[in-house]
């Protein structure tokens, strides 16, 4: 899978790895240990970890069949719009076939994206892509549990510097903590220094992710 938050080149640069043959700076490839593919896999794992810890993403992340309850409004007043708050913000444009906004009509799921319904404030539904809210207008869901089912993509389009650094350090830590790899660090780096560096990077990552963590709230 392609990497987004960082690159194998940045990981090698952070580690300042040395080639055994000529003592020059190492770049991961198919013959290094770890290989380029293995390092990119570590990066993908770090990206997934960052997304889980922050409840957000800085890449396109697919969510499939997320169910939402549609509660009866207080005092049962009439609402022109019925909002459904998605679990994420920064929603990507819905694409028919992969993304869906489905409502349960009592017997089957009706998809508003592929079913000929129109998006817009004066039409069937509209979407606040920034905040992650779907407003149902002319085509409303029934008031019931799991009355709405949504498949969508979310995530910012650009990766901020602290997320890039966090991902780079997470992938580098994975390499340093695995004694099976035959990497060559700069001369004079002791095992104690490596452990100290890993501990320092962990603190940096924890700080970065704490600052980026989204607050999830229940909408009643």
Q: Given this model, what pLDDT does residue 190 score? A: 57
**Mean pLDDT throughout 86-98?**
96
**Mean pLDDT throughout 26-32?**
89
Q: Given this model, what pLDDT does residue 195 score? A: 80
Q: What is the 3-state secondary structure (H, E, C) of the chain?
A: CCCCCCCHHHHHHHHCCECCCCCCECCCCCCCCCCHHHHHHHHHHHHHHHHHHHCCCCCCEEEEEEEEEECCCHHHCCCCCEEEECCCCCECCCCECCEEEEEECCCCEEECCCCCCCECCCCCEEEECCCCEEEECCCCCCCEEEEEEEEEEECCCCCCHHHHHHHHHHHHHHHHCCCCCCCCCCCCCCHHHHHHHHHHHHHHHHHHHHHHCCCCCCCC
The sheet with strand 133-136 has its strands ordered as 82-85, 133-136, 125-128
Residue 205, classified by CB atoms within 10 Å of its CB into exposed (0-12), middle (13-18) or buried (19+), is buried
**Mean pLDDT throughout 47-58?**
98
* pLDDT above 70: residue 93: yes
- pLDDT tens by residue, 151-192: 999 999 999 999 999 999 999 999 988 766 556 555 555 565
Q: Given this model, what pLDDT does residue 186 score? A: 55
Task: Please list, in sequence order, all residues whose beta carbon lies within 8 angstroms of the beta carbon of residue 19, skipping any fewer than 6 positions away.
Answer: 25, 26, 184
pTM value is 0.86
Q: Given this model, what pLDDT does residue 150 score? A: 99
Q: How large a percentage of the chain has pLDDT more than 90?
A: 69
CB atoms within 10 A of CB 19: 12
* pLDDT above 60: residue 144: yes
Distance CA 49, CA 138 (A): 40
Q: Given this model, what pLDDT does residue 166 score? A: 99
Mean pLDDT of the chain: 89
Q: Is the dihedral of CA 75, 76, 80, 86 positive or negative?
A: positive
């Amino acid at each position: 899978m392609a990497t987004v938050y960082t690159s194998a080149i940045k990981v090698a640069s952070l580690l300042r790895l040395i080639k055994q043959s000529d003592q020059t700076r190492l770049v991961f490839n198919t013959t290094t240990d770890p290989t380029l593919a293995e390092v990119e896999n570590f990066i993908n794992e770090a990206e997934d970890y960052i997304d889980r810890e922050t409840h957000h993403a800085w890449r396109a992340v697919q969510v499939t069949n997320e169910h939402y309850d549609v509660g009866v409004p207080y005092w049962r007043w009439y609402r022109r719009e019925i909002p459904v708050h998605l679990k994420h913000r920064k929603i990507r444009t819905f694409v028919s076939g992969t993304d869906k906004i489905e409502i349960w009509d009592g017997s089957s799921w009706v998809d508003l994206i592929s079913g000929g319904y129109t998006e817009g404030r004066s039409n069937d539904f509209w979407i606040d892509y920034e905040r992650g809210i779907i407003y149902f207008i002319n085509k409303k869901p029934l008031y019931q549990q799991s009355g709405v089912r949504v498949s969508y993509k979310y995530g910012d389009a650009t990766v901020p510097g602290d997320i890039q650094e966090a991902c780079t350090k997470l992938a580098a830590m994975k390499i340093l903590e695995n004694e099976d790899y035959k990497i060559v660090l700069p001369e004079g780096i002791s095992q104690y220094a490596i452990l100290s560096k890993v501990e320092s990077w962990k603190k940096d990552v924890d700080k970065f992710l704490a600052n980026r963590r989204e607050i999830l709230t229940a909408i009643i």
